[in-house]
Amino acid sequence: MEVVAGVDTHLDLHHAAVLSLSGEVLGTRSFAATRAGYRAMLAWFRSHGQVIRAGVEQTGTYGAGITRHLALAGIPVLEVTGPDRAERRATGKDDTLDAIAAAKAALTGERVSVAKDRAGQVEALRVLRTTRKTAVKCRRATLQQLRNTIIAAPEGVRDQVRNLTRMQLLRTCAAWRPDALAFRDPAVATKIALKSLARRSLELGDEIAELDRLIAPFVQELAPGLLEKEGVGIENAGQLLVTAGDNPERLRSEAGFSKLCGASPIPASSGKTVRHRLNPGGDREANSALHMIVVCRMRTDQRTRDYVARRLAEGKTKREIIRCLKRYVAREIYHALTEPAARAPTQEKTLARTTKTTSKTT
């Protein structure tokens, strides 16, 4: 018998449900969020029949482990994007009901999308980029605190550093050796704080530089064709790769990819006014990457500049023109990400490295 599974994920415990193709609940059960729990859950699913697909909540966080386990077992995994609010108001909410709702969503194909493959190289790129992003935020906050501390510092301390450039300021403050025993003095305490902030900023800068040395060649290896596009750099290409995932075939059309990036037009017509507006949904990080590509092309690409001039002459606003350009860029990026040749060199390199490693081991 063919069945459909659903999983409501949490930090320590996952709640699972199995439905028949007619929608009958065959069973519900809880499992630990460990490898042993994943194996037990898969065996329990298969005890009811052949699992044709599974609906899993939060495949990028709490459900990442069970998603990988089910995918390795050959079970298609669908990410449940949100609850059925009408059904929740009628039946209430608990973990068992959420698992049943996830299974129903996988059965009907509503409120689901194909889950990202998180066992490939793009997942490794995502982890590195996320770490770099947090390091950049911490360094920015540290520099802001450093400047704010100098503004309110005693005059003797402020006069020493107020006219220095950023790098001179960091190196000067990091080289200070204030007397730690005199920390009750505001001037000494300020120097101690500035030294700590400066060293923190320098260490974060070294961390960011180290991650950049890993990310840049990684992106060039994963999508060399994407970097050949006008206005596409390492940062934007990396974000678009992460948005598409290791299985870009889940993106069924360039219109779907545009909607995923929040670049698809939304009708905003009323009466005799027929117009479209910007899409506030989708992956905002991918939307930001498209925006930066468009801004770069508006400055350097003559074809884009001619298009902007023509649309301005037609009475379009700059926001509307940027929206149109985002849509065109999304179409171009989609084909660059989904072309088999775009990732063929990477797959060949990976196979060559694996073969070489195996030969050495043998």
pTM of the model: 0.84
Buried b (16+ CB within 10 A) or exposed e, 263-292: bbbeeeeeeeeeeeebbeebbeebbebbbb
pLDDT at 91 over 70: yes
For residue 350, the model assigns a pLDDT of 42
For residue 272, the model assigns a pLDDT of 84
Domain range 2-114, CATH class: alpha beta
Reported as a pLDDT band with limits 50, 70 and 90, residue 361 is very low
Tell me the pLDDT tens digit for each residue of 110-139: 989 999 988 889 999 999 999 999 999 999
Contact 85, 34 (CB under 8 A): no
Reported as a pLDDT band with limits 50, 70 and 90, residue 351 is very low
Instruction: Supply 32's token pair.
Output: 């630990």
Give the mean pLDDT of 85-95: 86
Most confident of 77-86, 142-151, 248-257: 142-151
51: which strand partners?
3
pLDDT at 243 over 90: yes
List all residues 6 or more positions away from 80 whose beta carbon is below 8 Å from its beta carbon: 6, 55, 56, 57, 101, 102, 105, 106, 111, 112
For residue 340, the model assigns a pLDDT of 63
For residue 349, the model assigns a pLDDT of 41
Q: Which amino acid is at 256?
A: G
Give the mean pLDDT of 135-147: 96
pLDDT at 167 over 90: yes
Give the mean pLDDT of 90-97: 90
Reported as a pLDDT band with limits 50, 70 and 90, residue 342 is low
Residue 108, classed as helix, strand or coil, is helix
Q: How confident is the prediction for the chain on average, in pLDDT?
A: 90
pLDDT at 346 over 80: no
- 321 backbone dihedrals φ, ψ, rounded to 5°: -65, -40
Tell me the pLDDT tens digit for each residue of 253-280: 999 999 999 998 888 888 888 887 778 8
